[in-house]
Amino acid sequence: MAKVKDPAELNVEDKLKNLYQLQTLMTEIDQIKTLRGELPLEVKDLEDEIAGLETRIEKINDDIASAKKEITERQGVIEKNKMDIERFENQMQNVRNNREYENFSKQIEFLRLDNELNQKRIGEAKDALERRGDELIKSNQIIADRRTDLDIKRSELEEIVSETKAEEEKLKEKAHNVEATIEPRLLSAFKRIRKNSRNGLAVVYVQRDSCGGCFNKVPPQRQLDIRTRKKIIVCEYCGRILVDPELAGVQTAKKELEDKPRRRRVTRRREED
């Protein structure tokens, strides 16, 4: 079995080739993800919204249960107060002096005021119960609609994923194998640049004397250094790793022009009079 060469021992040209190959594979994976569009985000947003609605419905149910409990408890207090009022009124018939009469009268008055307060609180609790009931109905309707939307979006996403999953897994495996040929320091830099770039490009080739990522001009001397492939050069504006078009397998317009066969110019002789 052939010994795998240490990535750090590779020459600069091979390192650049491996980096560009990895970039190509990652770009293909990004294109597959682009096919899914905004569906993954839409699914996540719907899941978060449903989770929020479930929490809200739980809170409404707790409030409804609390209101019902309060109504029951206050109704019990009212009934007890009525029984005490009736008892005190009966006892007032057998009082021996004004002091006892006034004492019973004050207790009866307090109990009646307490009943009025409890009736008021019961009314408020019933109003709250009705409002929370309406909110519960609306929330349940909204969550039902969102779950329907989520099922549709998930179905669409699963369909797209199933169509591209095999290809994506194959590309990921290739990318993983290429990563093994890149030294950790370079691989870490590659991933950092990709993360910070909006289009996911960490390695680009020079196009029309400009960086293929940010399109700022690359000085002629720097282009010469890039073509010699003696060291890894990054764009001084965007930080992307630069390679020459030939290494990237791209034929420039200038090269194509040079490769075209030249047409021989045909001169017509003037006819002598």
How high is the pLDDT of residue 271? Answer: 46
Coil vs helix vs strand at 244: coil
Whether the predicted model's global pTM rises above the 0.85 cut:
no
How high is the pLDDT of residue 3? Answer: 56
How high is the pLDDT of residue 36? Answer: 79
The amino acid at residue 248 is A
Q: Determine whether 193 is exposed, middle or buried from the number of CB atoms within 10 Å of its CB (0-12, 13-18, 19+).
A: buried
Predicted confidence band of residue 4 (pLDDT cuts 50, 70, 90): low
How high is the pLDDT of residue 24? Answer: 96
Q: Which CATH architecture has domain 36-165?
A: Orthogonal Bundle (1.10)
Q: Cα–Cα distance between 64 and 138 in angstroms, integer?
A: 15
Domain boundaries, the chain: 36-165, 183-259
Q: Which of 189, 186, 224, 187 is nearest to 206 (CA)?
A: 224
Higher-pLDDT residue of 164 and 223 is: 223
How high is the pLDDT of residue 256? Answer: 46
Higher-pLDDT residue of 4 and 55 is: 55
